[in-house]
Structure 1
Amino acid sequence: MKVTGVIPILLLFLINGYVNCQNFEYNNNVHFEDGNFSLTVVFQVEATYNSVTGDVCANGVTNDTANLMCQNTSNLQAVGFVTTDYSTFVFNSVAYSIDCSSGIDTCPGTQVSNCDSYGGLLAVKCVIPIPECYSQSVVMLSNPVNTTIPSGGYYVTGHPVTCSSSGNYVPICNSVNIGPLEIIAICAYTIIGSGGFNGAPSGVTVPPPTLRSSDTVSNQFSCSGSTYSNLNCSGNSIISSCPNGYATVTCQKVCDEDYYATLFNSQTATIDGISYTIGIPQFCITGTYARICNDGTNSPELGLALCNSAGFLFGELLSSNSSLAETLYRGSPQGILYLNRFLCSGHNCQGDSSSGFASNPQCFNGQLETIVRCSNIKSYAVVIGVTVGVLVAFVVTVLIVVILVVVFMVIRNKRTHRHDGLLTINDDIYID
């Protein structure tokens, strides 16, 4: 796509500290090249010495100087060239042959009658990248590679890039600590998912990122928030390199959204004649496995609700701080999403306004796993046990009531006999 037009430009060019303005018409072309939009601007340059303004000759002006001119007048990401592909015009009665080898702020010039013998009139072409991103909270994988897995899911692996203040993507250095929230943000923009992990799957070669500028990187990047709506990320951009290379992140789609909650690494145990199943509740959100972090922000009734969702009738939470927790956590898949702050009312549990993603590192290494002990609804021993328990409790209650009544009657009879004796022996002290 190429669009051309004629637009006036007010060109500011600094020569010996003097600011000169010149209205000039130039051709601008918006064209699509290598997947990135850019604006091409061509203009002539004039200089002023001792209050005398003249055109500038091309002789002695290099592409490096043209590049600085473009960056000073438009965008730091602009690239400039000396060009002869466009028509030039004489605007002044004199011209200058200049030398900007020491920088464009101090360019000594020699006045000449015209530029015919000095390389012709100087024309500079600037290729200005139109911003490819507008928000510094945007972060994604650049030039990712897809890998299918036997289960039918897939991985998307690449180098994360963030939006710089100049409107282009810059790679994030491997020295940056990319935690759970950062991975959620990266994967949400990349595959509309929320699960992933640092590094690449075994045997996967990660291609280099697609970048406009290879000398700008981000060595500071972090995210805050607990839900998609309030997740906010920010990073820096500096002209430098990444000594240890770029960061690598893998996003994943490894489970079905219709996946029912199960108990991961479940174990069975019989206690007081009742069969229990113990495990870590696990379900699927946006294509990645999810669990609830037992960080003290959830209601105690959550155990019952989680057991119900896994197909059990009864259930309770167990302590995360046990050798059993370590056993159950072993073999956990990569890229698990952890949630927290669930409030319960009976069997109904839901998140409050602050519910969302957990970021405590202990949630991700097995130290704060939510472990439940559930009784199977198909186990009649559970139902019978509960029924018998209720009957026994009823019988015991009746017996206690009968005993209390008998004791009360005995005590009452004894007190009556003693009172009658007093009436018989001491009529003087009878109190009605």
Structure 2
Amino acid sequence: MRVLVIGSGGREHALAWKLARSPKVDKLFIAPGNGGTEAVAENREVDITDHAALIALCRSESIDFVVVGPDAQVVAGLGDDLRAAGIECFCPSKAAGQLEGSKGFTKALCDEMGIPTARYARFDNEADALAYVYAEGAPIVIKADGLAAGKGVTVAMTLEEAEAAITDCFAGAFGQSGAEVVVEEFMEGEEVSLFVLSDGTDILPLTTAQDHKRAFDGDQGPNTGGMGAYSPAPVLTKALYDRAINEIILPTVKGLAARGTPYRGVLYAGLMLTAEGPKLVEYNARFGDPECQVMMMRLDSDLLELLQATASGSLKGMDVRWKDAWALTVILATQGYPGNYGKGSEIRGLDQIDDPEVQVFHAGTRRDGARLVAAGGRVLNVTALGTTVKDARDRAYRCVDKIDWPEGFSRSDIGWREISRSGA
């Protein structure tokens, strides 16, 4: 089969890397790709917001199957446009993709289906949002309603922080994504990610992971798109896992199907493990980034088969196999991220990494002749397998130390929660 991956980040590099290992893939393309994806696929410089151009590429290259990576393209309806052109693809519909595209949409679905989540209110003006916050007090959570590249959420521990977050949203800090704001109660607990495939009727649970959202060690600093992750996440015990599937995932799939907008794709649930049990923090309508990187390292099944079954509505009876190993990824980001950062600094030393249990997935890189240079905020994902989470962490950081990039930084404590719990 001839397969096309859409996107340019670490998630898409990991998907392409795994797809390239499928015996069913004859030729793999990625649009637009990055400085590392050319090692596993043929990069194609296409504006992925131009759906007509992507369809033309599919036709010119006789593409059999498309895998859409980025959230923005899911929400923009790329899957619908590809299917309308007769091109098979792994991507939820625009209607179902509102699970990620609008936090208010998801909250309304939770109300309708009785899905446990934080108490909330939704506002389209600053004055009413501020009045609500003053009445509720802090801590409190402020969220831009739409997509904001993982940066539209503020966990405000003081009223001043909440005020600033609301003002930023309505002042245009997140464009149209902040035109409406969801204000939520602050939930006490530990956050964990649960991934399932849904073909609109049946689900196939995948695995769990934990991300590290804050920029600096000790979970300090601003929220980011993610500075590292590990999988699995045993904090989601079997009992809690079963509750999450039955109380959150299945009602979501059922509710969307009943609305006539069945969900076909990967469903990524961010869960808070509260004293009352798991509650939904938010949904993402695509693979996580950096969670996808650790998942692809652990996956022992043929990824293409799973994605095709999801797209064609034939998940029933399928299973998924995982390596008996932990995976952990460390993000190297450009100094200044998630704020202002420079581009174009040279990255050296990747040729010194020769551990077969380590893959370096590129996120924000490009080639400048023979040089590899940084072209984004999050730049590299050093991803390792290990017999324990500590083993995976130590292997990843040994490779991080070999990378010569003074303009970059990483957290030094990825996996700290699980290591502190298990000691291994």
Which has the bigger relative contact order, CA under 8 A and spacing at least 6?
2
TM-score computed with the length of structure 2 as normaliser = 0.21
* Structure with bigger gyration radius: 1
Whichever structure has more helix as a proportion of its residues is 2
